A and B are shown apart, each in its own frame.
Chain A
Amino acid sequence: MNTKLNLDPEKVRLARELARQAGEPVTELAKTHTTVSIERAVLRLGGLDGADAHGMPWVNRLTDAVRDAVGLSRGVALPAWDAMVAGGYPDLRTLAEQAAAGQVKFRLPAGGEAVAAREQAVRSVARGVATIDAQRARRTRMIADLADPPQPWIYLIVATGDIYEDIPQAQAAAREGADVIAVIRSTGQSLLDYVPEGATREGYAGTYATRENFRLMRAALDETSRELGRYVRLTNYASGLCMPEIATLAGLERLDMMLNDCMYGIIFRDINPVRTFIDQRFSRQVHARAGIVINTGEDNYLTTADAVDAAHTVVVSQLLNEYFAVEAGLETWQLGLGHAFEINPSVPDSFLLELAHAQLVRELFPGAPLKYMPPTKHMTGNVFAGYLLDAFFNLCGLMTDQSILLVGMMTEGIHTPFLSDRDLALENVRYVRSAAGRLGMSFQPDSFVTGRAHQVLDEAVGLLRRIGADGAPGLLAAIADGTFGVTRRPPDGGRGLDGVVARADGYFNPVPALLGGGKRAEGDAE
């Protein structure tokens, strides 16, 4: 990539170093704790599925039973598979049913019994990891057999609440040119401490993320991919209280990209910060293995904060997301760092400011598949003006070589998109791409654009210094202080803290070691 902004490589290196310093204490926290959802993800990889008559998943029932009996500080795997061995149960499902009925005595085995339990656990979980590997291989094969669409990938959302309505809409969107389909989740799913089961037909402003819904949509898009001769990617949300489990289900059912931000749930859903950081590390380990591209959520900051004043907080968050992602084992091609076109269009030179911000992010993260989000905050209901603003967003995205373009809807904020809204939006993208797709090559930013980009980077470095440098209060304190999204979130506040457990000596979780070596396994062995 040719650089247009002449960023100082020393300053860029310093920014990354400061992000590492800010992130390391949080990573340490993640290495020394577990959560109920991580433990449930272990059981899911071990093959436990389904729910009881009330719709509560068996992974919740079994994890709760183990927690009540012996706690989770040594993990769910050891007592669960020990009970399997000792009780001679045919499968985890039977064990979970018996445990829910109070028929199972859990214990923390020692000596030979512990060895046997660990062996069984590793064997079962390895089968789950093998399924993830097979799905990744299948994706690679399909892309080779069909075709991988050129970037920017056109990203479209469906959100009817009913998976059986979503499917034809997603297929229609793909036929009209979408490269990536995202199924928006039902409002509030992030705050459920369990993953609903089965195919679902009723959601609030979105469709529940369930394993069966994942499977149905992926199968439908496979069919459409073959019809179109190009691989259509599927996206969902690994966020909220069940982030690790949803990441696991995404790997098992071959989703291709997942929204997975290190701070989104904290800021926008008031989920406990500690819980979130622990969960996101495990989730990213799974995504790394599954070959899933993560999408981060920095665009959200600009919906609450001013897009000019807070531009540097986006860069800071991207650097943090990058640090956490690489630490968890993700490779550069998997880092779909997010940002957005959200400057008030009445601000003079607003388009030039957008160009500066977008080009800065492009040059800071040259190998990352950046995800660029369209205007939402300044879409007023005037659909005609909105269509124009979306065209400028498309132009900025193409000029600055963004990788994943979430297509803006002129009816943003009015309703979930009509079939025709999506079609018009794609027509907009096609026109801008064909008319000006190569404009970026000849575009030379003037001193205003360059100056603005340098200013944002300087402000980002300044903020990182205040967060992460030696003697600075640290990331959790910064979040408590309202640094991101103008929202204060103390480390002991929010939902889900009761699901955080400090690991004791002898903590056993077979998953991270099975997922991969290198950095991923460090600090994760039993």
Chain B
Amino acid sequence: MSLSDVVRPYGDTTGDGRVQVSFTLPVPGVSPAERALAEGAALQLAAKMGLSPAMVVHTKPIGPGFTYFIVYGRVSHLVDLSAVQVVPREYELLAPAEVNLRIRETLGRKLVVVGATVGTDAHTVGIDAILNVKGHAGEKGLEYYREIRVVNMGSQVPVPALVARAAAERADAVLVSQVVTQRDAHLASAREVGAAFREAPEFTGGAGRLPLLVVGGPRFDPASAAELGVDKVFSRGTTPGEVASYLVHALAPATGAAS
């Protein structure tokens, strides 16, 4: 590591290491004695976070049992840029307008997505969070994208019905959500979907283009796509924007892109 790779936060002078943090502690801060104890507690936390010296600049009781603090301090840690690891995302995150533009330019038609929860799983929360306009985590669902046509089949869809619908709609991608994990039901369902599509007469022998198979749910391992026989696995916390970006990456790659 060279010296130029080492940085500290910048307040108003190089190397001063100054940062601001705010947090709430579940301690009372109303009376002078409570306030003194609360501020001492805040300073202890700041010290443990590596802030030294630290200064509590704002103390505010929130109701009888909580106190809010704003703390400024000098952080003692160094940042080594040469040791920063960036996990490369295999696809670029795109805004909805960029997704729409890419589909228009590359496919020249709407991208068709068929989604369902299969087997005995009655939970639609996952598939709806990704597909419904309402969306999830502050992002609109795939229905919101003008260039994506969404067919949401809902829950407890038999796999053969999903295959048939995907063929009828000429789906570019099939999204399957599985929430129930008892006896690894989610893994079994995902494998069943992968196998059913690969073996379906609708898609074998050049009969039709096999759609991109995407499964997701809170308990999936994102690295298990090959093992499950699908193209992509999404895990907990996935947002609609990530799914849309991935679909575009896989189905409508930018012309001239290296991948």
Contact = CB atoms under 8 A, between A and B. Distances in A.
A486 B133 CA distance: 10
A187 B62 contact: no
Contacts of B136: 187, 205
Interface in B66-99: 66, 68
A420 B132 contact: no
Interface in B154-181: 154
Given A420-B24, A495-B154, A270 B63 contact: no
Contact of A172 (B22, B63, B125): B63
Given A187-B136, A204-B125, A485-B133, A176 B62 contact: yes
A304 B133 contact: yes
Nearest to A189: B125
A175 B134 CA distance: 32
Contacts of B62: 172, 176, 419-420, 423
A413 B66 contact: no
Contacts of B146: 486
B154 A419 contact: no
Interface in A465-516: 485-487, 495
Contacts of A423: 60, 62, 68
A270 B68 contact: no
Contacts of A304: 133, 140, 144
A419 B66 contact: yes
B151 to A, nearest CB: 10
A413 B136 CA distance: 10
Given A268-B134, A269-B134, A420-B68, A187 B129 contact: yes
Contacts of B22: 420
Contacts of B154: 495
B24 A188 contact: no
Interface in B38-64: 60, 62-63
B138 interface: yes
Interface string A385-429: 000000000000000000000000000111000111001000000
A191 interface: yes
Interface residues of A, number: 28
Contacts of B128: 187-188, 191, 269
A96 interface: no
Contacts of B60: 423
Nearest to B155: A191
Contacts of B23: 420
Interface string B87-131: 000000000000000000000000000000000000111001100
Interface string A203-227: 0110000000000000000000000
Chain B, interface size: which category? 20 to 34
A176 B23 CA distance: 18
A206 to B, nearest CB: 11
Nearest to B136: A187
B125 A187 contact: yes
B235 to A, nearest CB: 15
B152 interface: yes
**Which residue of A191, A270, A303, A487 has the most chain B CB atoms within 10 A of its CB atom?**
A270
B216 to A, nearest CB: 14
A258 interface: no
A224 to B, nearest CB: 11
Contacts of A376: 138
A418 B69 CA distance: 13
Contacts of B132: 268-270
A188 B137 CA distance: 13
A418 B66 CA distance: 12
A176 B133 contact: no
A176 B24 CA distance: 15
A175 B132 CA distance: 36
**Which residue of B24, B62, B132 has the most chain A CB atoms within 10 A of its CB atom?**
B62
B25 to A, nearest CB: 10
A487 B131 CA distance: 13
Contact of A188 (B66, B68, B124): B124
Nearest to B22: A420
A419 B60 CA distance: 12
Nearest to B141: A268
Nearest to A174: B63
Contacts of A172: 62-63, 66
B143 interface: yes
Nearest to B139: A413
Contact of B63 (A176, A186, A303, A414): A176
Interface in A263-283: 267-270
A304 B139 CA distance: 10
Contact of A191 (B124, B133, B138, B140): B124
B129 A188 contact: yes
A419 B24 contact: yes
A113 to B, nearest CB: 38
Contacts of A188: 123-125, 128-129
Interface in A166-189: 172, 175-176, 186-188
Contacts of B144: 304, 486-487
Contacts of A205: 136
Contact of B143 (A186, A191, A270, A303): A270
A191 B140 CA distance: 17
A483 to B, nearest CB: 14
Contacts of B125: 186-188, 204
A65 B144 CA distance: 39
Contacts of B123: 188
Contacts of A414: 138
Nearest to A418: B24
A300 B66 CA distance: 34
A284 to B, nearest CB: 22
B63 A175 contact: yes
A187 B24 CA distance: 27
B245 to A, nearest CB: 18
Given A204-B129, A268-B132, 18 more contacts: A176-B62, A186-B125, A187-B128, A187-B129, A187-B136, A191-B124, A191-B128, A204-B125, A267-B133, A270-B152, A304-B144, A412-B138, A413-B138, A414-B138, A420-B24, A420-B68, A486-B144, A486-B146
Return the 7 tightest CB-CB contacts between A and B, nearest first: A413-B138, A188-B125, A420-B68, A268-B134, A172-B63, A420-B24, A423-B62
Interface of B: 22-24, 60, 62-63, 66, 68, 123-125, 128-129, 132-134, 136-138, 140, 143-144, 146, 152, 154
Interface of A: 172, 175-176, 186-188, 191, 204-205, 267-270, 300, 303-304, 376, 412-414, 418-420, 423, 485-487, 495
23 contacts: A175-B63, A176-B63, A187-B125, A187-B129, A188-B123, A188-B124, A188-B125, A188-B129, A191-B128, A267-B133, A268-B134, A270-B133, A270-B143, A300-B134, A304-B140, A376-B138, A418-B24, A419-B24, A419-B62, A419-B66, A423-B60, A486-B144, A486-B146
